[in-house]
Structure 1
């Protein structure tokens, strides 16, 4: 009995997905000439843990590497270096055959529902393909499971025999969600799942995500640039800048008192209700540097109003400031200053 309890405790403390120094680099401009091409540092030394049942919001400007990281976490991209673990097992270099059972447990929902659904196939085939590949249901029970999935995401079962072009954007995203749920995953990486939708539809999809998390005990990595949406759905938030994590913390604490200047600038743009006060708008000067030639020190030093000589020469590492709040900054902001 004690051994069983020990195993259960170990399982509960093991992150569902974890990375250590994970990096993804691309070679661009490569030709037949030896030594040609340049390295694009899309994701750079990411160390991260996500536990069962939580929702991690991943935010940052366009080009910060959020989507690339999401694809590395689901092994749609092979990492260049570092390690990736799922439920305690290293899957960094696992081959396709070995990944098959893991892929059932992790799924991805893409930004553009129109592009992610095959226009030549009916919904029944799109959603049902993975069910048959993974053997989730016996052949005579597949149709019933597909009808149940449609009900779960708020669509009629009669839609199963229609094609993607016959639906609205919100309905297509619900189909994409049904496809992800079809194999009964534990982890879902949602890559900007509401950014292509109208505002009114966004609220419906966000509410659906919240309902599914409670109903199916799902774990989410929710990638978005809309910080108001992220605050609504996330238990923790990780902030990315130019391929690196600059701040991680519990949602309320991070939104209330950001400690990295970049996080502070992002949050200053979020509309505030009048009775909650307003942050002073912080306008960042200049453009985000090219991932082909990132700054040598802190990647944010070229735009940071507080940058010093140390920032331009030494890259900061994530430091823990208590309660899981981590910041990669040589001169973090005072937690009580905001």
Structure 2
């Protein structure tokens, strides 16, 4: 896992005021896939992509979602936007159950929840002009009268920092950062309240990443947006997020205020992830000791009976291998799924 962002959030954009209520909430949410299934009874196996996730995102906040590749971050994000159907559990948006909404109800939900994808080249139709791509949701969802669409397109281009005359060009004529700005403009066209950004800067150069991150922060302030920000880059997550959730093998293992989690990780997996962040300092003594995880990486087809991290955890005991820890609230307010949480000063 690589990162080049600073280890602190000094100079980061101010956070919008939070009203305390959940805008979107997952309750014991799971997403399973059946593989190798045939007509024979009992055939096939189940991939536990997301398992028993309970998570609430408050209106106005940015929640960072981090973890290794295959941890279930993107799958959870797609479940929360209802791009994927939920296998078990509940999903609530602004207090209303959206777990199984279909038809016109799902269509209306698309106005409130939008997703920005990792690869802007793959998410933009190369045969259509930028103006047509951004205008399509305005027309399909009848958000604006046709005589107001041009003015709205110009407003959206200004929001994302692109010249208006770019509306007549095709996606291949732009750089990666410009294409991502176009994707952001298309998501904003729906006037959403929640945006799920799935690795929105990982495919961009480092210098362009900073520009897009600053754009996200600016849009949050100007439009009172709520973000779920999925990323590998822990430095970027620290810069943009007010809270962070750490996922491992489909489950959340730690959740809390960003500074608390980064400065004093409670879960051994979080500690190992954070040890990979390079600290830009000439003082070698200030650098973290890199934690190299050993042991076998479990398969989501057959997760361990006890703690999912027990096969790689340096402090695992027989209790960890036999009993799966619940995600419980610790004295400092964050939550961790560990029998022996660190940096708490208490007995487990």
Using the size of structure 1 for normalisation, the TM-score is 0.94
Partner of 2:311: 302
The separation in 2 between residues aligned to 1:63 and 1:288, in whole angstroms, is 11
Matched residues in 2 for 1:264 and 1:107: separation? Answer: 32
**Which of 332, 335, 340 is the aligned partner of 1:331?**
340
Q: CA deviation at 1:13?
A: 4.2
Say if 2:331 and 2:344, in contact at 8 Å, map to a contact too: no
> Does residue 284 of the first structure (1) align with residue 307 of the second (2)?
no
1:203 paired residue number: 210
Cα distance between partner residues in 2 of 1:141 and 1:288:
54
Rounded Cα–Cα distance in structure 2 between residues aligned with 1:336 and 1:136: 54
Q: Which residue of 2 aligns with 1:5?
A: none
> In 2, are the aligned partners of 1:57 and 1:237 still within 8 Å (CA)?
yes
Match of 1:178 among 179, 185, 203: 185
1:317 maps to 326
Q: Are the aligned partners of 2:20 and 2:59 in contact in 1 as well (CA < 8 Å)?
A: no
Instruction: Choose which of 28, 34, 41 in structure 2 pairs with 1:27.
Output: 34
Spell out the pairing of 1:58-77 with structure 2 (5 A cutoff): 58-77=65-84
The equivalent of 1:104 in structure 2 is 111
SS of residue in 1 equivalent to 2:201: coil
Q: Which has the higher helix share?
A: 1
- Rounded to whole Å, the distance in 2 between the matches of 1:162 and 1:314 is 57
After TM superposition, the structure 1 stretch with the greater mean CA deviation from structure 2, 45-54 or 116-125, is 116-125
Structure 1 stretches lacking a partner, 5+ long: 1-10
Q: In angstroms, what is the RMSD of aligned CA positions?
A: 1.6
1:59 touches 1:237 (CA, 8 Å); kept in 2? yes
The CA deviation at 1:138 is: 1.3
1:129 aligns with 2:136: yes
Aligned residue pair count: 327
Shift of 1:273: 3.1
Name the structure 2 match of 1:4. Answer: none
User: What is the SS of the residue equivalent to 1:102?
Assistant: helix
Counterpart for residue 50 of structure 2? 43
Q: Distance in 2 between matches of 1:296 and 1:236?
A: 29
What is residue 213 of structure 1 aligned with on the other side? 220
Pairs within 5 Å for 1:264-283: 264-274=271-281, 277-283=286-292
Instruction: Give the Cα–Cα distance (whole angstroms) in 1 for the partners of residues 173 and 333 of structure 2.
Output: 46
After TM superposition, the score normalised by the length of structure 2 is: 0.91
Tell me what 2:85 maps to. Answer: 78
Q: Could you tell me how far 1:287 is from its partner in structure 2? A: 4.8
Tell me how far apart the structure 2 counterparts of residues 194 and 13 of structure 1 sit (CA, whole Å).
29
1:120 maps to which of 116, 120, 127:
127
What SS does the aligned partner of 1:200 have?
helix
Q: Deviations over 1:294-337 (max 9, x none)?
A: 11110000000000011111111111113530000011112469
Once the two structures are superposed, residues 237-257 of structure 1 have per-residue CA deviations (whole angstroms, 9 ceiling, x without a partner) of 000000000000101111110
Q: Deviations over 1:186-232 (max 9, x none)?
A: 10000000011111111111111011111111000000011000000
Structure 2 distance, partners of 1:151, 1:103, is 23
The worse-fitting range, judged by mean Cα deviation, of 205-214 and 271-280 is 271-280
User: Unpaired segments of 5 or more residues in structure 2?
Assistant: 1-17
Q: 1:238 aligns with which of 242, 245, 260?
A: 245
